[in-house]
Amino acid sequence: MIIGVPKEIKNNENRVALTPAGAAEFRKNGHKVYVQSTAGQGSGFEDSEYEAVGATILGTIEEVYGIAEMIVKVKEPIASEYGLIKENQLLFTYFHFASSEELTHAMLKSNAVCLAYETVERPDRSLPLLVPMSEVAGRMAIQEGAKYLEKPMGGRGILLGGVAGVKPANVLVLGGGIVGAQSAKMAAGLGANVTIVDINLNRLRYLEDILPANVDTVMSNEFNIRDLVKNADLIVGAVLIPGAKAPHLVTRDMLKLMKKGTVLVDVAVDQGGCIETCRPTTHENPIYVIDGIVHYCVANMPGAVPYTSTLALTNATLPYAIQLADKGWQKACSQNEDLKKGLNVVNGKVVYKAVADAFGLAFTPVIEVLEKIPVG
């Protein structure tokens, strides 16, 4: 198969979907790899490192899309890429369709095959290609939140861990999944008072056992959240419903309950955000203020630490990408249930129900699409 790796062009996105080591694995299996010039530079990988393992460097993004049968990316295509995508071309990347109707319709129109990292799902319901970036984003949420709590950055001027004789900050984490657990662990390690909420009592019991003593667990409901936001200095949104739009746990009217200079970090922004006043921002302009409350809503947080993020992501994605290349997407998805659940859009049809539901589109069960395609 012909693999294409374009350079990411989203604002300040420095990750790359394939390392030279990954390119070497594809070549070892007999596949051709084309990488756009400087695609790996932001993550510390030079063109010469790709060439050394047998990949071919192409000068433009148009050339990469034009030659590739499978495009491997990090972030969803943006508008300038829509016209480059070919019918039947396989795109393997993060899509987060439920947060963008424009992207969904563009991919339907392209008649491409869109396999989303974020909905590849194991039998135990874990999301193996979302976990590594969730770990990075969860830890970064506290790092960024602590920075924006500083007075010159617009925050309350509070040191997260306090000092002797001065209370530490109060951190509220909404959601007890991978992002939430990593955020709570980081905040607790810095000495903050942490409260983590979730709707799953078994998950709360687990978190109670593994997290430090300065982390409290609370059942998530509107009454409890309204009460907790009053004293929170930093609030982290870490809610995920696989493939679907995140619910609004913090509503517009709750802002008036918060102290001026409170910082909100919504990690769920690429799925629509779990904070109603959230809208996507960039690393270039990461924050905005509403009613005296600082909002940090960068949609590609791990892009700020590309070396760590690229290695963490490609460690997880490469085995699946190799399967797709070795077998073709039809056979790979028919034989591997994890990959089958990653299919979101196939040849003009929405085959992931949460995406169809988000925009009132017709839903085609993925099995119907695969049954019509000979797998050899």
Annotated catalytic residues are: 96, 270
122 annotated ligand binder: no
Helix boundaries (H) for the chain? 20-28, 47-52, 61-67, 79-82, 101-110, 131-148, 178-189, 201-210, 222-228, 306-327, 329-335, 337-340, 353-359, 366-371
* 43 assigned to a ligand binding site: no
Length of the chain: 376
Q: Confirm whether residue 203 is marked as ligand binding.
A: yes
**Any known ligand binding at 74?**
no
Annotated binding-site residue? 270: yes
Residue 216 marked in a binding site: no
Instruction: For residue 86, give the DSSP letter.
Output: P
60 C-beta neighbours (distance < 10 Å), count = 12
Helix, strand, coil % (nearest 5) of the chain?
Answer: 40, 20, 40
267 is an annotated ligand-binding site residue: yes
Residue 251, helix vs strand vs coil: coil
Query: CA nearest 204: which of 222, 187, 219, 188?
Result: 219
Q: Is 33 within any annotated ligand binding site? A: no
198 is in an annotated binding site: yes
Is 229 a known ligand-binding residue? Answer: no
State the DSSP H helix or E strand holding residue 174, giving kind and residue range, or none if neither: strand 170-174
Question: Tokens 């978190």, residue?
Answer: 207
Annotated binding residue 298: yes
Token pair in block for residue 362:
């017709």
Q: Is 269 annotated as a binding residue?
A: yes
- Tell whether 183 is in a known binding site: no
**Residue 149, marked binder:** no
DSSP code string of 14-68: ---S--HHHHHHHHHTT-EEEEETTTTGGGT--HHHHHHTT-EEES-HHHHHHH-
Nearest to 185 by CA among 142, 217, 129: 142
Residues belonging to the binding site are: 15, 75, 134, 198, 203, 220, 239-240, 267-270, 279, 298-301
Residues belonging to the binding site for NAD(+) are: 134, 198, 203, 220, 239-240, 267-270, 279, 298-301
Residues belonging to the binding site for substrate are: 15, 75
